[in-house]
Each structure stands twice: as structure tokens, then as C-alpha cells.
């Protein structure tokens, strides 16, 4: 199952050229880590990655993830990444997929309170992302979600 989920990730990358992980390490079950990587590629964006089912489920967020309630951000789901990607920082060489600079913007743990095909409710325990958030799949484009912070009660 893990090999399936990482097939697209590996197909896009030449691991003899990029220092990004191939994703061969054994996985630990039941983890709930998250990371947000600021990725200065052709376009600056933030990659939100949630540990789920032995991989990092990933979304590209074109504007920085919201840290206050009331701000909605588009989050485009991309291919799953290997768990080891959560610690990756550095340069992806020119000519390679995602060429540019990756640095960790935030990281920590999260608790999912609801996960369906269309909706993820979660509580982040990071430095910047903290408290209750919702992700909702939109109807207007495939793989597009909205990410926003809920008011804390
Ligand atoms: Mn990216």
C-alpha cells in the first residue's frame, strides 16, 4: 500500500540528482506528525503535509497557511510524500521536479477529530499552526480544498 501511494512521488523525481528522500525507511504506525514547508519554487507556496496511513498526505497552499480564524486558503492536494520528507530542507536542483528551496515553516503534531473523503477536522499543535482547523474539499476543481482555522471556544 505504501509503495502504491509513493509511486507518483518517485516517478516525478530523479534520486541520483535530488537530495529528497526516496522513502525507503520503515514506517511507524499511528503517528500524527505534520509539517509545513515553505517552498520557493517557480512560485512560492507552502506545502502542508499530514502523517496519515504511513505516508505524508500533502497539499500545496499558494498563500501562507492561515494563523487566525476567518481566513480561508486554497490547498491543492498533491501526491503523497514519504514520512522522511517531514525533515527535508534544502535545494532541489535546477531541472528537477520542484526545483528551488525548501525550508520548514512549521512542524509539530496534530489530532484528527474527523476524516472523511470531503472533510478533515483537526487540531494542530505547532508553533504557528495551533488550535482547531478544518479542511473541506471543494466542488469547483479536482484536488482543491479550503483550509481555515476555526474560532476557539
Ligand atoms: Mn512544493
User: How far is ligand 1, taken at its centre, from the CA of residue 88, in Å?
Assistant: 12
What sections of the chain are H helices per DSSP?
2-11
**What pLDDT does residue 1 have?**
40
Q: What is the pLDDT of residues 11-53, one digit of tens each?
A: 999 999 999 999 887 655 456 999 999 999 999 999 999 999 8
Q: What is the pLDDT of residues 97-131, one digit of tens each?
A: 999 999 999 999 999 999 998 999 999 999 999 99
User: How far is ligand 1, taken at its centre, from the CA of residue 60, in Å?
Assistant: 6
User: How far is ligand 1, taken at its centre, from the CA of residue 11, in Å?
Assistant: 15
Specify whether the CB–CB gap between 98 and 26 falls below 8 A: no
Q: Tell me how far apart the alpha carbons of residues 53 and 1 are, in angstroms, rounded to a whole number.
A: 9
Specify whether the CB–CB gap between 56 and 124 falls below 8 A: no
* All cell numbers assigned to 25: 525507511
**What pLDDT does residue 28 have?**
53
Specify the pTM.
Answer: 0.90
Mean pLDDT of the chain: 91
Specify whether the CB–CB gap between 34 and 48 falls below 8 A: yes
Q: Tell me how far apart the alpha carbons of residues 149 and 151 are, in angstroms, rounded to a whole number.
A: 7
Specify whether the CB–CB gap between 79 and 8 falls below 8 A: yes
User: How far is ligand 1, taken at its centre, from the CA of residue 102, in Å?
Assistant: 8
pLDDT bracket for residue 2 (50, 70, 90)? very low
User: How far is ligand 1, taken at its centre, from the CA of residue 90, in Å?
Assistant: 12
User: How far is ligand 1, taken at its centre, from the CA of residue 122, in Å?
Assistant: 22
Single out the residue of 138, 112, 130, 134 nearest to residue 36, CA to CA. Answer: 130
Residues whose CB falls within 8 Å of the CB of residue 16, separated by 6 or more in sequence, listed in order? none
* All cell numbers assigned to 97: 521536479
Q: Tell me how far apart the alpha carbons of residues 47 and 57 are, in angstroms, rounded to a whole number.
A: 10
Amino acid at each position: 500500500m505504501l509503495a502504491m501511494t509513493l509511486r507518483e512521488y518517485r516517478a516525478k523525481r530523479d534520486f541520483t540528482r535530488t537530495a529528497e528522500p526516496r522513502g525507503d525507511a520503515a514506517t511507524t504506525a499511528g503517528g500524527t506528525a505534520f509539517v509545513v514547508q515553505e517552498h520557493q519554487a517557480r512560485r512560492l507556496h507552502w506545502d502542508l503535509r499530514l502523517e496519515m496511513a504511513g505516508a505524508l498526505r500533502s497539499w500545496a497552499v499558494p498563500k501562507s497557511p492561515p494563523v487566525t480564524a476567518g481566513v480561508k486558503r486554497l490547498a491543492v492536494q498533491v501526491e503523497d510524500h514519504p514520512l522522511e520528507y517531514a525533515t527535508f530542507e534544502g535545494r532541489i536542483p535546477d531541472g528537477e521536479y520542484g526545483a528551488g528551496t525548501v525550508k520548514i515553516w512549521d512542524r509539530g503534531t496534530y489530532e484528527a477529530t474527523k476524516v472523511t473523503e470531503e472533510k478533515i477536522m483537526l487540531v494542530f499543535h505547532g508553533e504557528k499552526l495551533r488550535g482547531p482547523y478544518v479542511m473541506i474539499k471543494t466542488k469547483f476543481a479536482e484536488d482543491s480544498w479550503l483550509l481555515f482555522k476555526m474560532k476557539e471556544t
